[in-house]
Amino acid sequence: MNIIVCLKQTFDTEEKIVIQGGAISEDGVEFIVNPYDEYAVEEAIKLRDEHGGEVTVLTVGPERAESALRTALAMGADKAVIVDPEDLPCDEFSVAKIIAAVLKDREYDLIIGGNMAVDNGSGQVGPRLAEELGIPQVTTITKIEVDSGKATIERDVEGDLEVIEVSLPVLVTAQQGLNEPRYPSLPGIMKAKKKPMERLTIDDLGLGEDDVKAKTTATELYLPPKKEAGRILSGEIADQVKELVQLLRTEAKVI
């Protein structure tokens, strides 16, 4: 069973965001594997161990993203592919196009990605990739079982549960609750250094800039306004209610 895991390297969720020159500064920032993608890696390894085959982790990003792939290899993935778009601006459309070009001549039974990336939260790359490849997709999954060329999948649907049966190949995106990702072991980290890492560029894939030109652009980046301290009302309840209504009308201007 050949499984592809699409992952992204993102800011550590504890990092403080700093904007300089209209862009997010990366100076001194620690990067990690996108947390939702860790669920994807873990599930791929479990399915590989159960059914045989291999797990390939794939990312589109700069050279520094290799460290995220090495983490996935240390967890137990078999090999990795990184596509460096260099200075080409990429959005979800671009990334899906690039990954589809990587996979068009490769064999796979299952593609797993995270439900979304914690940096932009769009959740678009997985569905867009499935459309590019012409295969079924099931998002926000919390359980998957594979047998006889079919997958039985459970997914979140606004507080309820939906069960879907679909033929392979299929693309799924992992939601929290799918599993508990393992930590890379020391032997795993040592082995990861020797596992194959394929490095590609846009030119290697036969793509031109027009083929992957971003459909969206960021016109402005800014931090949310700093919250002011809240006000505590005192006195009798009736007086507090009157004061609150007055504040909502004159200061907040919501009534």
Residue 128, domain member (yes or no): yes
| Domain, as residue range, for 110 | 2-205
Residue 147, domain member (yes or no): yes
pLDDT of residue 24: 79
Residue 255, domain member (yes or no): no
Residue 162, domain member (yes or no): yes
pLDDT of residue 98: 96
CB 52 within 8 Å of CB 1: yes
3-state secondary structure (DSSP) of residue 150 = strand
Q: Is the dihedral of CA 216, 219, 223, 229 positive or negative?
A: negative
Q: Is the pLDDT of residue 32 over 80?
A: yes
Cα end-to-end span (Å), the chain? 60
Average pLDDT over all residues of the chain:
92
pLDDT of residue 74: 96
**pLDDT tier at 194 (50, 70, 90 boundaries)?**
very high
pLDDT of residue 92: 94
pLDDT tens per residue, range 221-238: 888 888 878 888 889 999
- Tell me, rounded to whole angstroms, the distance of Cα 118 from its chain centroid: 7
pLDDT of residue 11: 86
Q: Residue range 12-39: average pLDDT?
A: 85
Residue 241, domain member (yes or no): no
Tokens coding 124 = 């678009």
Rounded Cα gap, residues 139 and 92, in angstroms = 16
Residue 246, domain member (yes or no): no
The tally of domains found in the chain comes to 1
pLDDT of residue 204: 93
The CATH number of whichever domain residue 129 belongs to comes to: 3.40.50.620
Residue 132, domain member (yes or no): yes
**pLDDT tier at 251 (50, 70, 90 boundaries)?**
confident
